[in-house]
């Protein structure tokens, strides 16, 4: 009888140990380029959004902007996955009307202007698999310089007279991409 009791106790201890290990969770550390989002209207209390972008926020970390987002090359507009743009209503980028839906948002940086690109690609890591034939719209916009340097890449929306501007900022570079209704 003692042997059965010992075997039972050992078996229960083993089951308990295994179940504790199966329930233990390992959570990843904070990403070096954390994911963020911006939308318009910007108020968190406003649920009737027109536009939203989800992107990751790389840091300069003593590196040059030109090294991280090279001029003349398609860039994912952030880090990690390419930026994901959702339109909740028909909007236009330049002369091109874009139906409501979710798209990938790329840019091609330049010294004096950037090209904004909306692509029908989805779930894209970086810009390694960018295909120009999947472009929905493109628009070239001027670069301006900000008064302060931003360590982390950021996106914010502001209202314009005929829609919204998606404002991109990093280091002292500022780019306003106009979306019209």
Closest CA to 50 of 131, 130, 135, 166: 166
Structural contact between residues 165 and 156, judged by C-beta atoms closer than 8 angstroms: no
Q: Is the pLDDT of residue 20 over 60?
A: no
Structural contact between residues 94 and 78, judged by C-beta atoms closer than 8 angstroms: no
Half-sphere exposure of 24 (CA within 13 A, CB side): 7
Tell me which of 25-34, 107-116, 143-152, 165-174 is least confident: 25-34
State the chain's mean pLDDT as an integer. 90
Q: What DSSP character marks residue 31?
A: P
Cα separation, 173 vs 159, whole angstroms = 20
pLDDT of 9: 64
Tell me which of 22-36, 82-96, 163-177 is least confident: 22-36
Cα separation, 153 vs 168, whole angstroms = 8
pLDDT of 147: 95
pLDDT tens digits along 122-157: 999 999 989 999 999 999 999 999 999 999 999 999
Q: Is the pLDDT of residue 5 over 80?
A: no
- Within 10 angstroms of residue 139's Cβ, the number of other Cβ atoms is 17
Q: How far apart are the first and last CA of the chain?
A: 82
Cα separation, 141 vs 153, whole angstroms = 18
pLDDT of 56: 96
Q: Write the DSSP string, 123-173.
A: S-BTTTT--GGGEEEEEEEEEEEEEEEEEEEEEEEEEETTEEEEEEEEEEE
pLDDT confidence band for 32 (50 / 70 / 90): confident
Report pTM: 0.83
pLDDT of 156: 97
Cα separation, 98 vs 117, whole angstroms = 12
Structural contact between residues 43 and 19, judged by C-beta atoms closer than 8 angstroms: no
């Amino acid at each position: 009888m003692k042997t059965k009791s010992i075997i039972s106790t050992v078996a229960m201890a083993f089951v308990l140990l295994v179940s504790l290990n199966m329930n233990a969770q390992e959570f990843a550390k904070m990403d070096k380029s954390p994911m963020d989002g911006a939308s318009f209207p910007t108020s968190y209390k406003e649920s009737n959004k027109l536009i939203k972008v989800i992107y990751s926020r790389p840091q300069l970390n003593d590196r040059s902007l030109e090294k991280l987002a090279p001029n003349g090359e398609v860039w994912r507009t952030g880090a990690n996955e390419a930026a994901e743009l959702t339109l909740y209503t028909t909007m236009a980028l330049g002369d091109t009307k874009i139906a409501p839906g979710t798209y990938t948002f790329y840019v091609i940086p330049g010294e004096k202007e950037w090209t904004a690109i909306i692509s029908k690609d989805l779930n894209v890591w970086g810009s390694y698999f960018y295909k120009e034939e999947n472009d929905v719209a493109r628009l070239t916009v001027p670069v301006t310089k900000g008064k302060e340097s931003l360590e982390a890449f950021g996106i914010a929306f502001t209202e314009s007279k005929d829609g919204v501007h998606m404002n991109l900022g990093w280091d002292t570079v500022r780019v306003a991409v106009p979306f019209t209704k």
